[in-house]
Amino acid sequence: MKLIVLNLPRDFSENDLAKLFKAHGNIKGCSLVMDEKTDKSKGFGFVEMALEHEGLAVIKALHGSAVGQNKIRVKQAN
């Protein structure tokens, strides 16, 4: 299940994103969307969970949770 993660801290790395989601299940991969000019995070990214039930569980666990000073949003990507 592919998820979109919004409102991430700008200093968050792909490794940080992977660690956050691996705590809730197996991930196939993750990526942050980067600004081409500054090479810094745009504050959102994608995570692909290996199993659909893990994706649904991670949405419940992390949507609305605090990461640094930000309240992140996690939902299924279309």
Q: What is the pLDDT of residues 18-68, one digit of tens each?
A: 999 999 999 999 999 999 999 889 999 999 999 999 999 999 999 999 999
- Mean pLDDT is lowest, of 10-14, 43-47, 70-74, for 10-14
**What CATH number is given to the structural domain containing 21?**
3.30.70.330
For position 33, what pLDDT does the model report? 96
* Residues spanned by the domain of 63: 2-76
Structural domain total, the chain: 1
- Minimal CA–CA distance to 46: which of 24, 16, 76? 76
State the pLDDT confidence band at 78, using cuts at 50, 70 and 90.
Answer: confident
